[in-house]
Chain A
Amino acid sequence: MNSLDAGYETNGFYDEMLAASGRPRPGYRRLYEQLNRLGPRELARRHDLAMQMFRNHGITFAVYPDAEGTEKVFPFDIIPRVISAHEWHRLEAGLKQRLAALNLFLDDVYGRKLILRQRAVPPEIVLTSPQYLREIEGLPVPHGIHCHIAGIDLVRDRKGEFFVLEDNLRTPSGVSYVLANRHVMKRVLPDLFAGYPVRPVEGYVHELLRHLRWLAPEGVDDPTVVLLTPGINNSAYYEHLYLAKQMGIELVEGTDLVVDQDHVFMRTTRGLKPVHVIYRRLDDHWLDPIFGRQESLVGVAGLVNAYRAGNIAIANALGNGVADDKAVYALVPKIIRYYLGEDPILPNVETYLCAFDADRRYVLEHLEELVVKTVDESGGYGMLIGPESTKEEREDFARRIAARPRSFIAQPVVALSVQPILDGGRLRRTHQDLRPFVLTGPEVYVTSGGLTRIALKDGSLVVNSSQGGGSRDTWVMAEDETEDVDA
């Protein structure tokens, strides 16, 4: 592939597609040959086709609601990521284990608090999380499932080992891209699929709807499920729209619902229609002006009390933020051991909690080598990347850490794995991560693969959509040919 990979360097990062020799890894061999056969011009043409399909399909997003109302298509690379069946088997087991433990943790923390009483994890970390909602203690949670839909961010280090980077247990987004990417790839590059037993991903929609219907209160034969969105100004609105359409459920906003005598209804042209399950993409604090922020115009007054009365199911449940708090993240290996008596299958990235004196001292002394993150924010903001920072930035962070230690954690820089993207006819390395989605319901279901997010800016480690990221299709093999199994 002289025309395609001339000048491609990996700089010591783990390249998912190309081994150190520059030859493709076993699982990518056939793909590599196909890409070469098509050549850069044809691939560029297929890429343009793909982007057009995304636009027509309505898969767009808004970073900040554009005054012009033009939505942007999420950047996409046509080279898929390949994960062997063998590798996936381990990842899936690790994800299921992690979610099982996190659900038990949430149930315990908002219930009997045994893990805290026994000091198996420090209460001063868990209870001081800004997302810990004491007000929901004692709220009955059907089946003890708090997190019905999770998005777990995985990364690979220099040796190609998978780590969990972050848990997202409240309103994780991105699965619409997983579905759309595959839909487009099948139409734009069908030949690439030849010889690859790729596991389908469209089952997710069916499974999600099945899980949601299963949550309905007892005695309801044909439950009405809705997706509650904050509305068009939310950056993930187009995912809400897409999922609602795919599942064939109504997309509602707060003003469309009303609670009367602890029952939830939808305002329709034929009067009030009962609602039984809400898949909500609204933050806890905005969900119900009686429960959370009174000025919330996007919520439904009385919803939480209707939930308490057992008349409406809500996915995800309230209060999950305490478990995806970045400081509590550091405690998850202990949490897994406590509830399941097992060692974690998927390791955490080493994390320093500035709330602890020893950790804080270490962090302040090694700021240039670490990534410092605030506990409360997402989207990659409020972060210091040590090796790329200026002295002023480090001093600023040092001040902030000293003032509010509990709000900061630090991790060594993870050398995220890379994979080439096709950029102007040539291959260019970009970092990527993986976000599988996990559904916990009657069973636990994991998307085959998940969303691979790529950092488009050269050398950037930041993959979030709000900061110039993109994605590619992720293929999990249904089975491996013996020679495809990578060391």
Chain B
Amino acid sequence: MKLEIVHTTRYRYSGPIAETVMEVRLRPMDGNGQRCLEFDLELSLGIEARSYRDGYGNNVHYFNLIRPHTSLTVTSRSVVETGGKPDADLGEDLVHDFLRFRSPVKEVPGIRQLALRHPIADPSSGSSVELALDELTVAISQEFAYDRAVTNVYSSVDEVLALRAGVCQDFAHLFIAVARTMAVAARYVSGYIHAPGAATTASHAWAEAWVPGRGWVGYDATHPIRAAEHHVRLAVGRDYTDAAPTRGIYIGSATGGMEVSVRTRDLSASH
């Protein structure tokens, strides 16, 4: 698939603030069947961003503004090709740090119970692992309700377990927690999902697990499906905090508000 995504974030403050410092992870990743063909980042107020690649391989843009301002707009436009073949070279299986637990992905009894229900018959066999993870994906989507009103961006898995509800960020964290309990390295993916037929797209989150012999395989516990050509990967990490599309601080006594809009176009039809 060939998709164009325009992602606009507008920050507005009740009064002038002194400083903004931000990082954004808005440029889609290359690899594992995905290729970013075009990318453009536009910032208001004439700000120029610099970029680097972090230790997770994420494309990071960053900037700061040191003069008083009352608003800030970040707009990214990307054209991405998805659904390609996965990488032939899996790279090193040095992924053990993705087995570690750290809030919000905590090791709690409810997680262990979920893990016990989906034992992996043969941990060294890729298909055995995939089978268990597929079942886990379905189980999460069935046992947890999708509800935007109950959790927030800082919610950890024990809260989600207690509420039995959350949004895709929470479902991804749940999946990762259980996978790690099953001794499967798992990481968080921040990105977009293109709903066929829908005019717009929204930000989305899912997980990837390291499957022996296959490398990183994507699992979307919200829908529940394997991540495929409708998924666009922006960034990965241990959890939401590593992969968040934007992160930053501002200095000032004003209060801030944020509006986000994400629009997609399917360009594949036009050739």
Contact = CB atoms under 8 A, between A and B. Distances in A.
A/B: CB atoms within 8 Å of each other: yes
Interface of A: 113, 116-117, 123-124, 126-128, 130, 132-139, 258-262, 289-290, 294, 301-302, 305, 308-309, 404
Contacts of A138: 53-55
Given A260-B64, A290-B62, A305-B62, A137 B55 contact: yes
B100 A128 contact: yes
A302 B249 CA distance: 10
B52 A305 contact: yes
Contacts of A126: 96
A137 B92 CA distance: 14
Nearest to B92: A117
Nearest to A301: B21
Given A117-B92, A259-B21, A302-B21, A127 B55 contact: no
Given A135-B237, A139-B55, 6 more contacts: A133-B55, A135-B55, A260-B66, A290-B249, A302-B64, A404-B107
A134 B97 contact: yes
B62 A302 contact: yes
Contacts of A130: 100, 102
Contact of A262 (B50, B238, B247, B249): B50
Contacts, number: 71
Interface in B63-106: 64, 66, 92, 94-97, 99-100, 102
A262 B62 CA distance: 10
B97 A294 contact: no
Nearest to A128: B96
Contacts of B242: 135
B110 interface: no
24 contacts: A116-B94, A117-B92, A128-B97, A128-B99, A130-B100, A134-B55, A135-B54, A135-B56, A135-B242, A136-B55, A138-B53, A138-B54, A261-B64, A290-B23, A290-B247, A294-B241, A294-B249, A301-B19, A301-B249, A302-B21, A302-B64, A305-B23, A305-B50, A305-B52
Contacts of A305: 23, 50, 52, 62
Interface of B: 19, 21-23, 50, 52-56, 62, 64, 66, 92, 94-97, 99-100, 102, 107, 237-238, 241-242, 247-249
A132 B23 contact: no
A161 to B, nearest CB: 35
Contacts of B50: 262, 305, 309
Contacts of B99: 128
B136 to A, nearest CB: 22
A290 to B, nearest CB: 6
B7 to A, nearest CB: 20
A134 B56 contact: yes
Contacts of B52: 305, 308
Contact of A127 (B62, B97, B237, B249): B97
A353 to B, nearest CB: 14
A387 B53 CA distance: 51
Contacts of A116: 92, 94
Contacts of A124: 96
A74 B21 CA distance: 41
A301 B23 CA distance: 10
Contacts of A123: 94, 96
A294 B55 contact: no
A126 B99 CA distance: 12
Given A289-B249, A290-B249, A294-B247, A259 B97 contact: no
Given A134-B55, A138-B55, A127 B19 contact: no
Contact of B97 (A132, A258, A261): A132
Contact of A259 (B54, B64, B95, B237): B64
B93 to A, nearest CB: 9
Q: What 8 pairs between A and B have smallest CB-CB spacing?
A: A137-B55, A127-B96, A301-B21, A135-B55, A127-B97, A134-B55, A302-B21, A260-B66
